[in-house]
Structure 1
Amino acid sequence: MSSKDAKRFFNSGAKKGEIHELKQELKTPDKSKKKDVVKKVIAAMTVGHDVAPLFPDVVNCMQTDDMELKKLVYLYLINYAKTQPDLTLMAVNTFVKDSLDPSPLIRALAVRTMGCIRVDKITEYLCDPLARCLKDSDPYVRKTSAVCVAKLYDISPELVEERGFLENLKDMISDANPMVVANSVAALSEIHSMSGKPVFDLNSQTIFKLLAALNECTEWGQVFILDSLVDYNPKDSKDAESVIERIIPRLQHANCAVVLSALKVILKFLRYVSDNDFKGPMMKKLAAPLITLLNTEPQVQYVALRNINIIIQRHKEVLSSNIKVFFCKYNDPIYVKMEKLEALIKLANEDNIDQLLLEFKEYSTEIDVDFVRKSVRAIGRCAVSIAESAQKCINVLLDLIETRVNYVVQEAVIVIKDIFRKYPNKYESIISTLCENLDTLDEPEAKASMVWIIGEYADRIDNADELLETFLETFPEETSPVQLQLLTATVKLFLKKPTEKPQQMIQLVLSNATQETDNPDLRDRAYIYWRLLSTDPEAAKDVILSEKPIIADDTSALEPEMLDELMNNIGTLASVYQKLPDTFVARVRPMVQSASSFNPEADVVENGAAGDVIAEQSAPVDVPDLLGGLDGLNVSAPAPAGDAPAPSGGAPDLMGDLLSLDVGGGAPAPAPAQAAPAQPAGGFDPFGLDSLSAPVSSMPVQQTELPVILAADKGKGLEIRGKLERSGGQIVYNLSFRNTTAGVLDGLMIQFNKNSFGLLPGGALQVPALQPGSSGAAKLPINVNVQGANPAPARSALQVAIKCSQLGVLYLSDTISLGAVLTEEGRLQYPNFQQMWQAAPPANSQTQVFQVAGASQDAVVAKLESGGLFCVGKQMNAAHFSGKLVLGALALVEVAMQPGSPAVQVTCKSQRVDLLPLLMEFVGKTML
């Protein structure tokens, strides 16, 4: 590909005719025509067209009395302010002027828009209008300003605290207008969740004010206030009763969110009530609103049922006498039916089991296969949880088996296995009925269950060897779970009936399992059985035929601590996911730190700007915001690597929220004698990504041995070595340049094409002019931004363009190692890891076996941790790791190994399926 073709490939360009036409039309003095043109601009912006070049012209339209035109311009500003931070300053005077307008609508619109423009450079200008509007005479302006404080806190927490805005919000809780109170509570709650420290302290006086405003708030204002009450711990039983009585009327509200929030508060406060005469009737009052929620549209029913399934795990008595409301209707969507079944299983007891079994049996004749399977399984779960009714459940299952419906029979076999495990040696009389249906079993789980039953009761089944032999005929083609069960069942048969035929069968199975399979689990188990049987058959009996632990009732599947947390999150997304909030969203965001926190002795020059600032980031950042934060800094020559300040960075939350970090550097150092001029913004940009790169200096480092990424013969005499690494929380690109030409090479610039991880140069290359035969090196900080990320599938390729004044543009391709893009925020708590691991669907998992000579668990853990993964838990033969990539995707890894065996089985899971091959390749290379 020629240089011209390559440039066309990476930067296709854009049509300018339409933009030029709109630019001319925006200059018209006709206000009506100007409004129509701005509408065209907004329409183009809405469908995804880039109309950023019109920014100055649209901003000039702000100074108008036309409310509609002003709103359109504000909408445009909000959308493009991040990419045009310098030009945003043009609008500041108009914002300040509008915040003083006689109309409260315009004052509120101005402060709302300023809060939505998330640019660091205008935060100082926002403070005075915001302080004035927080004390405005109009409640509409005050309530809008309250929300703006939370938005400002997200950008600059220190500024909010310094200007006393938090105290203003706390004072506004006493406001006479209930909507002002509600918005103040919402803002304080949001700030409290972001800050990680107590911001919103609730006491009896505050609670009284909130309860007083509750009756007059809008429905969403009531939700905000009720949700905040959950954080209050009553002083005594009387205090809790008083709050409950004030909230009880909210249970009759038409808005479902209000009802669920009220239920959440009441259920928490009932824990503090000691008077049973108060608690009993109150519990009965909770049933009616929950039943009402089940008579709404299906989507609301589903949310209600997910919350009900949490509530009844703690308080069955609330709905135990109302099971009929959970009976499935013929026109219920399948997702509602499934949740109703879960509720019925949890509410089952000796008194209502007969009624429930009739319902389950009826459901088992439905057309929907998934619903039928769930119904059959529900019968088995009731048998496991209610010992007194197990026989009744088994009779129903036998009736269903008699229907000879394939999937019904198979599901019945699966649940009967669980019943046998719960009640061993009690209901084996039904085994003969199960054996009559062997021919209908074709699903792996059903086959594995039947094989387990045959092996467990081989001494009581006359033709157990013949039954197992029919399964062994297809042993090589069976799935792994079936093969494992066949292996164990055959060994059990041999131990219980050590005759000639079982001996032949065990030899055949062990031979197939050790020589004809690639499954390490099956092979290892076969070797263990083989050695046990050959060395000590009696020991084999003690191990293999020992009594099994009785399975537990799973109707209360949630751990007590997790259930407590979910009870406090009723009515939120956590209750629908039935996961802890911290597992899918990070509430505490990293605080923005000042330059002095990194180097207390940093020199301060005029206007408070540091003499030498190096912007370093280790997390996805909003680069345009960073541009705005650095525009006023005097960026001089970089300090040597040894004096570089310790980098700092933050990690994005699990929802991909991006924060800007303002990171300062150390004291200035003398510039090199032949330093190249700083790369100007808007200079070299072959990929069209100039607006995404921050104009800060790179950091020269001593040249080290790096891999060649562009050979001299392909680089017109310039040899380039480089490698992406992660150092101290910062992604850096270590680069080395060697001039093999006969002339001087200078003016080096760098740019990346869009890539899967949003990597962008964090500054200009500061490489001295290269004399013939000489070399130079640089350590380039790398920024991360979603605007620079390619959509899936993820690839490790990094396309780089290097421009040299003498050689023109050189193109090369490098590889992004996952070790460089794994952040320091990837360590999960082991319970959270287990929950995510179990919840991951099969499609989000990949397994591969590596041969690692002399592998040991400690060595593998050390290698993977040095590569950027975190070991979160160890078992006897397995270790679990977690990690988080720069754009927020989680990586979960399990490494399993057997002592003395070079085989290492690696299983990787992630919410992004396209990352699994890269993750697997990284783990494999790191272990070797």
Structure 2
Amino acid sequence: MALASLNSSRALAYLTERGEDALYAVKGILGGSGSSRYLDTGEDKLAAVQAQLESSQDVERLEGLKRVVAMISKGRDATPYLASVFKLSSTTSLEIRKLVYIIVLRYAPAHPDLALLSINSFQRDLSDPNPLIRGMALRALIGIRLKVVSAIVLLAVSKATRDAHPYVRRIAAFALPTCYQLDDSQYDTLLAHLGTFLQDRSPLVLGPALLSFAELCPDYWTLLHRHFRKLCHALVDMDEWSQPTCAQVLVRYARANLPQPQPGVDVDPDLALLRSALANLLTHVNPAVVLAGVHAHVAVAHTSDMACVIPPLLRLLQGPPEVAYMAVLNVLALSESQADHFTPHLLHFLVGATDPAYLARLKIRVLVRLATEANASLLVQELVTYAQAAAESVATDSMTALGQVACRYDAIAPQALHLLMDVAQDPSLPSRTLSRAVQVLKTLLRVSSDAAAASIVARFALRLFVPLAQRGRSADAPRIRILLDPDSRAAVLWMLGQYCLAPLADETLLTCLVPDMLRCLVAHWAKEPQKVQCQALTLSAKAFVHLDSVGDTAIRTAVMVLHYELLSLGSSSADSDVRDRARFYSGLTRGLFQDDDLTEDTLPDDIQAYLASHRDLDRFRLPGVRLRRAQVQHVLFARDLSETSPLEQLTLASMSTDELASMSSVTDGVHLVGWRQAQLPPWSEPEARPPAIVRMPDPTSLKPHSSVSAQRPSGAWLEEKRSFGSDTVHGDGRHAERVVLEPCVTLSRTRAVPQASARYEDLDAFLEAESNASASDAASLDDPAAEDEEYVVDSSSSSGLDDDL
């Protein structure tokens, strides 16, 4: 045993040592202790930043810039170093320039004067051979946001619209709304540039172009007519952050220019093309794209074609809580009109042990929405288990949901009452959850028999006061938990007054329990909260109006005296609600005293004097209409339809598609940026729709250039039809790039490696290639480049859409 333990210890030490060696090797490759060392912003480290930025060595400058970026990431002010940073904008190091541009983009809006010091450098970089530098320079120039440079910015954007690389054109497309903010008088010029970007053949440019369209002219459909089909084909290849807005724009176009789908009628070919493009978004890895695809499909499809959006929403339930919350919110909105589609998937919406409170509460609302008569019994058993949830909000909502399901299906009401009684007996139940259970019981008693209601009310009424709870119980019996929450105490008093004539053990609640309850209320009047005092007055008035059904004189006398005492206490209360209710019940029951057949000779002297004082008080009151006993009973026991039931707290207002798309349902009605673009127009009338011929594709934006297509084998464009990524930034073949990046256009991976390895045979070949590249720097930017062919639509693919023309 000792030898085995020694061997295992040696093995652990050996593996630990090898692991540390590997870790140090990785850190050495990445540079010291990794990027975390730049987050050390101590005073001694920051003191050397200025010297590093002013150094003549690129290594020192790079270290200083990384320190500045780390300061920005931690929220510290890097303003003292801006002057030194902006001076580095003309350096030849790509790494330094990238960090400089990052800092410029961060501080240019707040310090435009300092940013103007580098504007010449930005303009010079717009002609750099590297497209990455050209794009970053354009971004920095746009980020200055000064009206004095609006002309320079517009000129740079105009030049970038003809750039050979899609990355630069992409940034120029993003810049159009900013240019409009700087100078709105150039609106027509910006629309012309937008039309140029919409004619582009690269999905990298088409996505930002549609984003600018949504900002500049969201309803100018004439600009989109000839590009609609191309955009539908390109939607799947756009970057994931452009796809939601682009899908939104295409959906708004469809509702304004295409016929609404009808059941049993063939779908319009253009609308079918859009729905086919939207179907590809439902399988995306980005949850935002999936939800955008769901919203778009709901907006353009008929209600009978919603089955395809269910699997993507169920898949999102397995993601992070925030993503699952948005998915459940969409399910809740869709289930309002199409609950049958989600009912078979009820188990997916059961609350998990690790679900946060906001997600669990929303899932409970979905469970209530999807409840049917077939699954109601199992659902109430599931809901009652949530009463033990750690979050009180989840526990209380589960009790309310149980009551909603039980009220909807009367067959399970007895089961729900039994489960609620078991929950209420739990001594560890939080007070708020117990209070909500009592309030739900109050609502469910309406569907139960009088005998069952009397038994339930009696059990809860004994838990209001200690003397009542200990009556008839032995000293060693378990103690009963007293209800202390004002809401639960008020609910029990309401139930006791509403069912005071319910039979209980050959008697009624009025004769066996109400007198003692009124006596305890009078004794503890000053300790009761306002809500309980109001219900105590209501209980007293209801008991007083039913005294004609009581044969025992002692009980009738006790109830009458206690009633007048409660009215006297309520009339002198400092709370206006209690005082007004006491005066109302006093006037309501005033006329019933003469109808009483009590013989005063049989009453004690003190009681006779007490009743005489109230009779004298009535003589001084203004005369008014005195109601008969039946009329008073109708007033007190009529169902108050205006009373808000606690079960209504889980009822959601109807959510429109516009509210769901604009996120106003999540932000409590606060509209986020872009909410106007999320509003969907109504389906157009037939006389207002343009003919389908206006959507004929533009040949200039679909047909590949002859010189480029001649260099490509058939079908090569399919391999390059993809979104922008880190592998798409590369230099134009006509320029000599300072930094060689990974090329985007490759015919095949099997041919790319040998071609790259055999590119230069010796040093002379390399120098000759450099001289040839320098000689071609003067080539016009208007010439088409290979990158323009990242997305090409075969003109034959759209022939089926024009059969109706």
Contact 1:346 1:555 in 2 (8 A): no
Deviations 1:592-640 (A, max 9, x none): xxxxxxxxxxxxxxxxxxxxxxxxxxxxxxxxxxxxxxxxxxxxxxxxx
Once the two structures are TM-superposed, the CA of residue 454 in structure 1 deviates from its matched residue by 1.7
SS for the counterpart of 1:218 is coil
Q: What is the correspondence of 1:244-323 to structure 2 with a 5 Å cutoff?
A: 244-270=275-301, 273=302, 280=304, 282-323=305-346
Q: Trace 1:872-887 onto structure 2 (pairs within 5 A).
A: none
Name the residue aligned to 1:58.
85
Greater displacement, 549-558 / 469-478: 549-558
CA 1:531–1:249: 2 relative to 1, 3 Å: same
Aligned mates of 2:209, 2:117 — CA distance in 1:
30
Q: Are positions 1:484 and 2:534 aligned together? A: yes
Match of 2:230, SS state, is helix
123, 126, 131: which one pairs with 2:158?
131
Q: Spell out the pairing of 1:810-821 with structure 2 (5 A cutoff).
A: none
Structure having greater relative contact order (Cα 8 Å, sep ≥ 6): 2
| Alignment match of 2:558 (pick from 484, 498, 501) | 501
Find the aligned partners of 1:390 and 1:200 in 2 and give their Cα distance: 56
Flag the 1:565–1:120 CA change in 2: closer, same or farther, 3 A.
Answer: same
AA aligned to 2:151 is E
Larger Rg: 2
Write 1 or 2 for the structure with the bigger share of strand: 1
Does residue 1:105 correspond to 2:132, yes or no?
yes
3-state SS of paired residue (2:367): helix
Structure 1 position 529, deviation (Å): 3.9
Match of 1:236 in 2: 260
The corresponding residue for 2:483 is 441
- Separation in structure 2 between the aligned mates of residue 78 and residue 376 of structure 1, nearest angstrom: 53
Counterparts of residues 832-851 of structure 1 (less than 5 Å):
none
CA distance in structure 2 between the aligned counterparts of 1:430 and 1:383, rounded to whole angstroms: 16
**Distance apart, 1:354 and its partner CA:** 1.9
- Give the match for residue 364 of structure 2: 341
Query: In structure 2, the residue corresponding to 1:62 is in which secondary structure?
Result: helix
Which residue of structure 1 lines up, in the alignment, with residue 498 of structure 2? Answer: 456
- State the AA in 1 paired with 2:127: L
1:429 aligned to which of 452, 456, 460: 452
CA contact (8 A) 1:406 1:441 kept: no
Question: Structure 1 residue 139: deviation in Å?
Answer: 0.6
Per-residue CA deviations over 1:824-872 (Å, capped at 9, x if unaligned) read: xxxxxxxxxxxxxxxxxxxxxxxxxxxxxxxxxxxxxxxxxxxxxxxxx
8 Å Cα contact 2:324-2:359 kept in structure 1: yes
**Quick one: which amino acid aligns to residue 166 of structure 1?**
L
CA 1:537/1:585 → structure 2, altered by over 3 Å: closer, same or farther?
Answer: farther
The alpha-carbon deviation at position 549 of structure 1 amounts to 1.8
> Do the aligned partners of 1:92 and 1:125 also contact (CA within 8 Å) in 2?
no
Identity of aligned residues (%): 24
Aligned pair in 2 of structure 1 residues 47, 360: CA closer, same or farther (>3 Å)? closer
SS at match of 1:315: helix
CA distance in structure 2 between the aligned counterparts of 1:332 and 1:427, rounded to whole angstroms: 40
Offset at 1:230?
3.8
Residue 169 (structure 1) shift: 2.3
Deviation per residue, 1:534-566 (Å, 9 max, x gap): 544527655444332287874983444x43433
SS of the equivalent of 1:322 reads helix
Shift of 1:113: 1.8
Contact 2:515/2:559 (8 A) holds in 1: yes
Counterpart residue number, 1:870: none
- Contact map agreement 2:112 2:144 (CA 8 A) in 1: no
- TM-score, normalising length from structure 1? 0.54
Distance in 2, matches of 1:559 and 1:331, equals: 28
Look up the SS of the partner of 2:533 in the other structure.
helix
Q: Which amino acid aligns with 1:443?
A: D
- In structure 2, the partner of 1:223 is 244
Q: Distance in 2 between matches of 1:35 and 1:379?
A: 63
Look up the match of 2:117. 90
- In structure 1, what residue type is equivalent to 2:239? T
Alignment correspondent of 2:639 = 547
Please tell me the residue identity of whatever aligns with 1:98: D
- 1:292-341, Cα deviation, whole Å (9 max, x unpaired): 22233444323322222222123212211221222334454444433322
Q: In the alignment, which of 121, 145, 152 is matched to residue 118 of structure 1? A: 145
Q: Is the 8 A contact 1:211 1:246 kept in 2?
A: yes
- The counterpart of 2:572, out of the listed 512, 515, 538, is 515
State the distance in 2 between where 1:334 and 1:492 align.
41
Contact 2:573/2:579 (<8 A) preserved: no
What SS does structure 2 have at the residue aligned with 1:118? Answer: coil
Distance 1:485 1:428, change over 3 A: farther
Distance 1:481 1:261 in 2: 48
* 2:659 partner letter: L
- Equivalent residue, structure 1, for 2:656: 563
Larger proportion of helix? 2
Partners of 2:138 and 2:156 within 8 A in 1? yes
The question of whether the paired residues in 2 share the 8 Å contact of 1:81 and 1:119 is answered with no
The CA deviation at 1:95 is 1.6
* Pair 447,135 (structure 1): closer, same or farther in 2 beyond 3 Å: farther
Instruction: Tell me if the contact between 1:251 and 1:263 (Cα under 8 Å) persists in the aligned partners.
Output: yes
Matched, 1:475 2:506: no
How far off its partner does 1:99 sit? Answer: 1.6
Change beyond 3 A, Cα 1:167–1:338: same
> Is the Cα–Cα contact under 8 Å of residues 494 and 539 in structure 2 kept in the other structure?
yes
Query: Which of 62, 65, 73 lines up with 2:100 in the alignment?
Result: 73
Alpha-carbon spacing, 1:305–1:19, altered in 2? closer, same or farther (3 Å) = closer
Letter in 2 for 1:260: L
1:459 and 1:493 in contact (8 A); partners too = no
Post-superposition offset of 1:346: 0.8
For 2:374, the equivalent position in structure 1 comes to 351
What is the SS of the residue equivalent to 2:164? coil
Residue 158 of structure 1 is aligned with which of 170, 179, 184? 184
Q: Which amino acid aligns with 1:356?
A: L
Q: Distance in 2 between matches of 1:449 and 1:495?
A: 20
Paired with 1:433 and 1:466, the residues of 2 have a C-alpha distance of 17
Distance 1:76 1:409 in 2: 57
Aligned to 2:207: 182
In the alignment, the residues of structure 2 paired with residue 82 and residue 138 of structure 1 have an alpha-carbon distance, to the nearest angstrom, of 27
Contact 2:542/2:636, CA 8 A, preserved across alignment = yes
Contact 2:664–2:670 (8 Å) recurs in 1: yes
1:709-737 Cα offsets, whole Å, 9 max, x none, are xxxxxxxxxxxxxxxxxxxxxxxxxxxxx
Report how far residue 181 of structure 1 moved: 1.1
Q: What secondary structure does 2:242 align onto? A: helix
Q: Distance in 2 between matches of 1:49 and 1:471?
A: 63
Unaligned runs of 5+ in 1: 1-15, 274-278, 590-928
Counterpart of 2:404? 381
* Paired residues, number: 552
Aligned pairs (5 A) from 1:641-660: none
Deviations 1:501-540 (A, max 9, x none): 34433444344444343x3433344444445555445276
In the alignment, the residues of structure 2 paired with residue 157 and residue 587 of structure 1 have an alpha-carbon distance, to the nearest angstrom, of 24
Q: Is 1:213 matched up with 2:270?
A: no
**2: distance between equivalents of 1:160 and 1:202?**
17
Cα distance 1:361–1:86, how it changes in 2: closer, same or farther (>3 A)? closer
- What residue identity is the alignment partner of 1:215? V
How far off is 1:369 after superposition?
5.2
- 8 Å CA contact retained: 2:247, 2:296: yes
Alignment match, 2:171:
144
Counterparts of 1:348 and 1:478 in 2: how far apart (Å)? 39
Q: Is the 8 A contact 1:78 1:116 kept in 2?
A: yes
Contact 1:454 1:468 in 2 (8 A): no
2:736 is aligned to: none
Q: Please give the alpha-carbon distance, in whole angstroms, between the structure 1 residues aligned to 2:76 and 2:657.
A: 48
- Distance verdict in 2 for CA 1:434–1:200, change over 3 Å: farther
| Aligned alpha-carbon RMSD (Å) | 3.6
The DSSP-based 3-state class of the residue aligned with 2:214 is: helix
